Structure formats: structure tokens, C-alpha cells
Amino acid sequence: MSYYFAIVGTQDNPLFEYEFGTSKQGGDGQSRFTEQVRHLNQFILHSSLDIAEEVQWSHGQMYLKCIDKFFNNYISCFVTGGNVKFLLLHQPTTPTSTATSRSSTAIGANPTSPATEEAIKMFFTEVYDNWVKAIMNPFYKVNMEVRSPIFRARVAAAGRKYL
């Protein structure tokens, strides 16, 4: 199970990106994207922005759940009050013969299950908390790339904790 997380500003400009793998079920927290897929990931996320902008007005929630799917890539989205979008691409490992009933209970094995939705929601909420703190930094300007190593570490911690 691999994740690609990106934060997109109000001008559809990328502010932050982070790649990680699952830490549940004995995962080592490393992503398993190949070099080609990495570039593709950015395109997939970018293309889902249109849908995010449509869905964000349809219900008053910040967490929009899973909004898009491209082959085996699922996109979950969270919109902040300032119209900054958190996008998480999750790619469940394709079931192999060795993974049987055990893998099906893993978070993310079924990307649209309530358990997965809830885990991603927890992840987004924690990132949102830290995001607010990061942009409260007086030296941060709106729509500027977030380079803070502290924020990156906190996103990584949230990823480890929930996904």
C-alpha cells in the first residue's frame, strides 16, 4: 500500500508533497511507487482538482472522502476553509496469491470502506491541525511552498499513526 500526499494552493499550485507507504500490518512506511508512476501520480492528482472543486460545494463538509479513481489509484480530498486542498492518492497493493483474508482487513485494502474513510479522515484532521500551525508562521506567505522540516515530520508522523 503506497500513498502520495499533496497540498494544493488556491491557484492550483503545489505547496507540499510527501510520499509514504503504510505502516499498518507490518508495513515499513516506504512507498512502492516506481519512478514512472511518480510522475503519473502528480498528473492524476492534478486532474482530480476539477472534481474536488465540483464536490466541495455539494456538501458542507471539509472532508470530501474518496472523490476520484484512476485505475487502481484512489484520491481522497480535504478542503480547508482557505480553499487549500489536501489530496491523498492511495494505491492498494494488487491482491496477490499470498495475501488472503488477512490483507482484506488492512486499512486501505478496500479504499471505499468506512474504516478506510475514517482512517484517512483522522490523517487529514491531524495534518490540518499542523497545517494551521505551519501557516501561522509569520514568515509564511499565502500560496508559498511549505518547506518547514517540522511540518514534514508531523505529516510523516500522522501517516505512520493512521495509515
Pick from 133, 142, 143, 153: which binds another protein (CB under 8 A)? 133
Question: Closest approach of Cβ 58 to another protein, in Å?
Answer: 32
Select from 66-74, 77-85, 91-99, 146-154 the region that touches another protein (CB under 8 A): 146-154
- Cβ distance to another protein smaller for residue 118 or 145: 145
Asked if 57 is part of the footprint of another protein (rule: CB under 8 A), the reply reads no
Cβ-based neighbour number of residue 85 at 10 Å: 22
- Cβ distance to another protein smaller for residue 59 or 147: 147
Asked if 138 is part of the footprint of another protein (rule: CB under 8 A), the reply reads yes
What residues from 72 to 101 belong to the interface with another protein (CB under 8 A)? none
- Cβ distance to another protein smaller for residue 115 or 153: 153
- Cβ distance to another protein smaller for residue 125 or 148: 148
